[in-house]
Amino acid sequence: MKKVVILTGAGMSAESGISTFRDAGGLWDQYPVEDVATPEGYERNPELVLRFYASQREGMLRAKPNEGHRLVAQLEEDFNVTVVTQNIDNLHERAGSTHIVHLHGELTKVTSTWSPNDTRFIRTLGDDEPYPVLGDKAQDGSQLRPFIVWFGEAVPNIEIAADECSGADIFIIIGTSLNVYPAAGLLHYVPPKADVYLIDPKPVDIHSSRHVHVIQKGASEGMRILRSLLLEQIGKQA
């Protein structure tokens, strides 16, 4: 069974109503990055940061996986699939994908301010559980903070993601500008023999000379086209 690695970004969840970050009217137009997505912003105004991620979680809980998410999950019927996502929502999980590497954290989880990547202090919130407010403590006595990788912080799962990419037979990029590192560098770990596909309605600079099959569509329509193409290839090889 061929190994498929799929790198997804904000465009994957856009059809589910979750705001992208860099597009006009996106989150970074509404909230300055330095205020809500950096350790310094959190230190300056933790209450604002907690309110911001509480509102993002509310939006995530209201959202539903779109057809693109579901088609990604359905690839597991015919391929060994790993989803590497830059998204902090849980729509891939809810669509049925079973092997997901979250690069930038998860809205469903909170953790310690002092030791954010210590698994002893990472806690999954129930859907009905309120998001932490100022004064809510982790087990180590520090303020509970979002389990999110902010700008300027290390990306703990990048080595896991790179290892997955290094074994890919097929690499699929969906809905990411490839402007955020280290995630944007994962293509460099994909073997030269692997087929690479890019699904995005807008032109994307992949910062690479390798050949990429471009499907200039949104996530759902693009995945419909690509899934048919991949299944056709399996049929030809059978």
33-62+110-148 is classed in which CATH architecture? 2-Layer Sandwich (3.30)
Q: What is the pLDDT of residue 238?
A: 42
Structure-model confidence comparison of residues 208 and 105, the more confident one: 105
The pLDDT tens digits of the residues spanning 22-38 come to: 544 545 456 788 899 99
Q: What is the pLDDT of residue 79?
A: 97
- Average pLDDT value over all residues in the chain: 92
The pLDDT tens digits of the residues spanning 57-105 come to: 999 999 999 999 999 999 999 999 999 999 999 999 999 999 999 999 9
The catalytic residue among 69, 92, 102, 104 is 104
| Burial bucket for residue 117 (CB in 10 Å: 0-12, 13-18, 19+) | middle
Other beta carbons within 10 Å of 106: 24
Domain-wise residue ranges, the chain? 1-18+66-104+156-238, 33-62+110-148
b/e map of 28-62 (b: 16 or more CB within 10 Å)? eeebeeeebbbeebbeeebeebbebbbebbeebee
The question of whether 104 is a catalytic residue gets the answer yes
The two three-digit tokens of residue 27, written as one number: 């989150």
Q: Please name the fold of domain 1-18+66-104+156-238.
A: Rossmann fold (3.40.50)
